[in-house]
Amino acid sequence: MSGLPASNVTDPVPATGAGPRHVAIIMDGNGRWAKRRFLPRVAGHKAGAEAVRRTVTAAADMGLGALTLYAFSSENWRRPAEEVSDLMGILRLYLRKEVAELHKNGIRLRTIGDIGALEGDLIDLIREGVERTKDNRRLDFVLALNYGAQDEMVRAVRDIAREVAAGRLDPSAIEPGAIEARLDTSDLPPLDLIIRTSGERRLSNFLLWQAAYAELLFVDTLWPDFDADTLAAAVADFGARDRRFGGR
């Protein structure tokens, strides 16, 4: 496991030795996992769904406040149509099978991103899952679907521009908090840790605003192999860091 030094978060108090409240994961490596086993890419995506199940359970057991998974980016539409269809089918199956288990375990399902671009039956499954679990408090499990951080920020800025144009907001009063309040994550804990699997070292348009003071950790583990031990090691790495938030 390898990490990058980071300087980060909106929380002004250093939390050396403390565990993260909000962890986000860029799930990468499904295709390479399948290729190494001479399997079709869809097999890697199916194995990745199993890793989601393991990781959500582990996050709840560890007492995290929120877990956000980058499930489908706004750029993923550029993939071959067959692969996009496979991904959406796996998401359907996951929601049909797992929402009851999430609810049983006190986990609240959330989404960020523009789900309105998804197919109607999938939108219905997502909304039903969100509604069914809305009163759960053990863990906020957030799926980033058709999500892109730049799009998220553009939507926030457009909303502010409309408020200014209507005379309801003075431009001189616009501060970072005005943008944060309009982001998809506005009612989630501040982001503490971003993990990216498979050895890649970039954020890929994921939670760019929220990552301002988040710790970054890049691991070589391919996503289908990610499990409770991998998550525990990442949390331990986080706890050993000295988070200064630019204060010293």
Tokens of 124: 């219905």
**Chain centroid, CA 9 distance in Å:** 16
Tokens of 1: 């496991």
Write the pLDDT tens digit of every residue in 71-126. Answer: 999 999 999 999 999 999 999 999 999 999 999 999 999 999 999 999 999 999 99
The answer to whether 41 is a known ligand-binding residue is yes
Strand partners, 24: 68, 194
pLDDT of residue 11: 41
Q: Is residue 156 part of a domain?
A: no
The answer to whether 36 is a known ligand-binding residue is no
pLDDT of residue 243: 81
The answer to whether 202 is a known ligand-binding residue is yes
Tokens of 4: 């990058």
Active-site residue identified among 8, 28, 86, 140: 28
Q: Is residue 245 part of a domain?
A: no
Q: Residue 184's closest CA among 203, 210, 202?
A: 210
The answer to whether 30 is a known ligand-binding residue is yes
**In the annotation, is 114 catalytic?**
no
**Chain centroid, CA 192 distance in Å:** 12
Q: Is residue 204 part of a domain?
A: yes
Please provide the size of the chain in residues.
248
Burial class (CB in 10 A: 0-12, 13-18, 19+), 107: buried
**Chain centroid, CA 50 distance in Å:** 16
Domain that holds residue 115: 19-146+189-239
Strand partners, 66: 22, 140
Residue 209: is its pLDDT beyond 70? yes
The answer to whether 137 is a known ligand-binding residue is no
Write the pLDDT tens digit of every residue in 134-166. Answer: 999 999 999 999 999 999 999 999 999 999 999
Q: Is residue 175 part of a domain?
A: no
* Average pLDDT value for the chain: 92
Q: Is residue 92 part of a domain?
A: yes
The answer to whether 136 is a known ligand-binding residue is no
**In the annotation, is 205 catalytic?**
no
The answer to whether 77 is a known ligand-binding residue is yes
Which CATH number belongs to the domain containing residue 87 in this structure? 3.40.1180.10
The answer to whether 79 is a known ligand-binding residue is yes
Active-site residue identified among 11, 61, 76, 237: 76
Q: Is residue 62 part of a domain?
A: yes
Write the pLDDT tens digit of every residue in 162-207. Answer: 999 999 999 999 999 999 999 999 999 999 999 999 999 999 999 9
**Half-sphere exposure of residue 179: CA atoms within 13 angstroms, side-chain side:** 14
* Distance from the first to the final alpha carbon of the chain: 27
H-helix segments, the chain: 30-36, 41-62, 81-104, 120-133, 149-165, 176-180, 228-239
pTM exceeds 0.85, yes or no = yes
User: For the residues 195-221, what does the mean pLDDT come to?
Assistant: 97
The answer to whether 203 is a known ligand-binding residue is yes
Write the pLDDT tens digit of every residue in 50-77. Answer: 999 999 999 999 999 999 999 999 999 9
Residue 45: is its pLDDT beyond 60? yes
Write the pLDDT tens digit of every residue in 3-41. Answer: 333 333 334 333 445 789 999 999 999 999 999 999 999
Q: Is residue 101 part of a domain?
A: yes
Q: Is residue 7 part of a domain?
A: no
Strand partners, 195: 25, 217
Q: Within a 10 A sphere around the Cβ of 1, how many other Cβ atoms?
A: 13
pLDDT of residue 246: 66
Question: How many structural domains is the chain composed of?
Answer: 1
